[in-house]
Amino acid sequence: MSGSMKIVAIWMFLVAATIFFWFLWPEHKSMTDDWRVLATILTIVVSTIKIRFVGLWFMELRDAVLPLRLAFELYALGVGAMMIFLYM
């Protein structure tokens, strides 16, 4: 897959994930507590993945020097983990 096709595929994933969760959240009120917790954690995980994709592909951190890329990867993972920890 060429570079521009990868970017288009990633962009399509970002849009699809956004639309999916946009339609999921109006149903949030009718969910049981267990499903509500699962939906919230899934939203945080997918949001963290989206942040990583934006940073790597659209801010071009995938080609950055290793310390910068590592700092970004750890930041994205840390923020996602902290959000889940604070939610629980």
In tens, the pLDDT along 46-87 reads 899 999 999 998 888 989 999 999 999 999 999 999 999 998
Write the burial class of residue 76 (CB in 10 Å: 0-12 exposed, 13-18 middle, 19+ buried): buried
Does pLDDT of 25 surpass 80? Answer: no
Which residue range forms the structural domain that includes residue 46?
3-87
Looking at the 3D structure of the chain, how many domains does it have?
1
Indicate whether this model's pTM tops 0.85: no
Identify which of 33, 74, 76, 69 has the alpha carbon closest to the alpha carbon of residue 52: 76
Looking up tokens 């994205």, which residue turns up? Answer: 76
